[in-house]
Amino acid sequence: MAINFTGLSNQGTINKSERSQKEDATGSATEKQGSVQSGGTLAEDTVRLSGTAQTLQNQQSKINNLPDVDMAKVEQIKSAIAAGEYKIDTQKLANNMASMDSLF
């Protein structure tokens, strides 16, 4: 026994493009309503940074402008190595390696 369900809906057949056009129209109307305050003016958001936040932002911009490598220091070490004048403090190196090892 077959059951026929055709003709039960009063909306008829809506294809995908028609459905998306209706959703777009509904969505854009909702967006417009959400951005308008009572009285018909647009809502305006403001942000005010604290003094500490402004200082941090300034310091971050200064850090971002610094080079990744201090080339003057690199050249100084290169010339000291080439001249045989570069001395390594083995005790300091060992202490630094031990302190790094304790981090993990």
Those residues whose C-beta lies under 8 Å from the C-beta of residue 37, and which sit 6 or more positions away, are: 43
**Alpha-helical runs (H) found in 39-89:** 51-65, 71-82
pLDDT band at 80 (very low <50, low <70, confident <90, very high): very high
Q: Domain map of the chain by residue range?
A: 69-104
Mean pLDDT, all residues of the chain? 76
pLDDT band at 91 (very low <50, low <70, confident <90, very high): very high
pLDDT band at 94 (very low <50, low <70, confident <90, very high): very high
pTM of the model: 0.34
Each residue's pLDDT tens digit, 8-34: 554 555 555 555 565 565 555 444 555
